[in-house]
Amino acid sequence: MAEKNKILLQGNEACVLGAIRAGMKFYAGYPITPSSEIAEKAAELLPKHGGKFIQMEDEIAGIACAIGGSLAGLKSMTATSGPGFSLKQENLGYACIAEIPLVVVNIMRMGPSTGLPTSPAQGDLMQAKWGTHGDHPVICYYPSSVREMYEYTIKAFNMAEKFRTPVLVMTDEVIAHMRAGVEIPEEVEIIDRKKPEWGKSYLPFKVTDGEEIAPLAAFGSGFRFHVTGLAHDEMGFPSNNPLRNDEMIRHICAKVDKCNDEIVESAEHFTDDAEVLFVACGSVARTALYVVKQMRSEGVKAGLLIPKTVWPFPEKALKALSSRIHKIIVPEMNMGQLVYEVERIVKGDSTVTLLEKVTGELFKTEEMYNKAMAVIKQ
């Protein structure tokens, strides 16, 4: 029997409830299908929770304004879909180099360009990692249920605050629009950014030997510092000192990279004795789980790895599995993106087969079963 006291929520609604639970006080954005319910719900709920909502003139202004809100000391978020995610890339890089906590939600629809506004896809997985130029850390959660939309939005805020960096919550239209019962947890961990102490010298971009992350003062709270997208010194003023450039870039990457083990999340189903491994995310992982169970009932030893953080990718978990499972199948709603990361990690340990789908529909169970069985029988 399932648990009681669940409420029926849409994925996008759960995202906003999670954000508010995490302490979001500011939302700036530009509504776009299939993420619009996030803006709608944020507009409805934020004023009731002591927060502010603003609809900007476009997606670029949306993220720029959210960055400003965060710098002013409020936990801030923006949400979008493919075309808007493309527009936001420059400012994502700005938040990375200026070390500004921020949550950006991207509900994937089929592209490129305006593509299919109401259809699910997974075409932004690599864009999430490489969309903005230059070396920078990327933390990207990929919820595969409504409950996870709630949980991972909270975690995204926590990681953004902890590491002073933008964090992505990315999923596909299916998860964003479906409704399911969610039991709201009584207790959740909430992390707030460190703030500087009065009376001590304040260097917001100081890099210490232990890679400790400098506190972030709310702009306008009395501490004077500069914020720029240019390479900068410890006070935030533009600098082109080669030693400082090296220190700054290594710092913004290392502060996240060295905590990869703490950030990475994945789930495994039926992998203990698996001879065939599916690697899938989001709604595709749900089709894959159905197919894995069906195969198991017919004696095929199939298993499933679901990356919950696509970035950083659960490299250790996959490496451990690929050392003993020599057939890997990667179904994706794109022409092949996750498969590159899988191939990079398994390095020839296993044969990796991509199952691509670009019809703008979720993989159907029978379709994935048939395509995967053809691979297994090879």
Partner 1 sequence: MSERIEFRLSGSGGQGIITAGIVLASAALYDGKNAIQSQSYGPEARGGASKAEVVISDSFIDYPKATIPNYVLCLTKEAYRAYGENANEDITVMADSSIEIPEGKKALTAPIIETAAKEFRPMVANTIALGFIVGCTGVVSQESVIKALLERVPKGTEELNEKALYKGFEFADTVMGR
Give 224: exposed, middle or buried? Use CB within 10 Å, 0-12, 13-18, 19+. Answer: exposed
Helices 59-71 and 82-97: crossing angle, nearest 10°?
30
Count of positions on this chain that bind partner 1 (CB under 8 A): 30
The CA-based diameter of the chain, rounded to the nearest angstrom, is 70
In this complex, which beta carbon is closest to partner 1, that of residue 119 or of residue 122?
A: 119
Nearest CA to 81 out of 57, 112, 126 is that of 112
296 binds partner 1 (CB under 8 A): no
119 binds partner 1 (CB under 8 A): yes
181 binds partner 1 (CB under 8 A): yes
270 binds partner 1 (CB under 8 A): no
Smallest separation, CB 2 to partner 1 (Å): 5
How large is the C-alpha radius of gyration of the chain? Answer: 21
Helices 11-22 and 146-163: crossing angle, nearest 10°?
30
Site for partner 1 in 48-107 (CB under 8 A): none
294 binds partner 1 (CB under 8 A): yes
φ, ψ for residue 104 (rounded to 5)?
A: -120, 120
Residue range at the interface with partner 1 (CB under 8 A); choices 23-31, 84-92, 256-264, 280-288: 280-288
Residue range at the interface with partner 1 (CB under 8 A); choices 46-54, 73-81, 117-125, 213-221: 117-125
Smallest separation, CB 261 to partner 1 (Å): 28
Residue range at the interface with partner 1 (CB under 8 A); choices 61-69, 159-167, 244-252, 363-371: 363-371
Sheet holding 276-279, edge to edge: 266-269, 302-307, 276-279, 327-332, 351-356
**DSSP assignments along 19-64, one per residue:** HHHHTEEEEEE---TTSHHHHHHHHHHGGGGT-EEEE-SSHHHHHH
Give the separation between CA 333 and CA 339, rounded to whole angstroms: 11
In this complex, which beta carbon is closest to partner 1, that of residue 63 or of residue 280?
A: 280
34 binds partner 1 (CB under 8 A): yes
Q: What torsion do the CA atoms of 309, 107, 54, 51 make, to the nearest 10 degrees?
A: -40
155 binds partner 1 (CB under 8 A): no
In this complex, which beta carbon is closest to partner 1, that of residue 10 or of residue 91?
A: 10
Which residues neighbour 45 within 8 Å (Cβ) at sequence distance 6 or greater?
16, 17, 20
293 binds partner 1 (CB under 8 A): yes
Residue range at the interface with partner 1 (CB under 8 A); choices 12-20, 130-138, 232-240, 288-296: 288-296
Smallest separation, CB 146 to partner 1 (Å): 8
Q: How far is CA 367 from the centre of its chain?
A: 28
Residue in 43, 93, 364, 375 binding partner 1, rule: CB under 8 A: 364
φ, ψ for residue 299 (rounded to 5)?
A: 90, 5
371 binds partner 1 (CB under 8 A): no
Residue in 8, 230, 254, 335 binding partner 1, rule: CB under 8 A: 8
173 binds partner 1 (CB under 8 A): yes
274 binds partner 1 (CB under 8 A): no
Q: Which two tokens stand for residue 320?
A: 């451990």
Give the separation between CA 279 and CA 109, rounded to whole angstroms: 21
In this complex, which beta carbon is closest to partner 1, that of residue 105 or of residue 289?
A: 289
Residue in 91, 122, 239, 287 binding partner 1, rule: CB under 8 A: 287
Give kind and range of the element (H or E) at residue 306.
strand 302-307
In this complex, which beta carbon is closest to partner 1, that of residue 119 or of residue 239?
A: 119
Residue range at the interface with partner 1 (CB under 8 A); choices 48-56, 287-295, 313-321, 339-347: 287-295
Q: Which two tokens stand for residue 126?
A: 């690599």
Applying CB under 8 A, which residues contact partner 1?
A: 1-4, 6-8, 33-34, 117-119, 173-174, 177-181, 283, 286-287, 289-290, 293-294, 362, 364-366
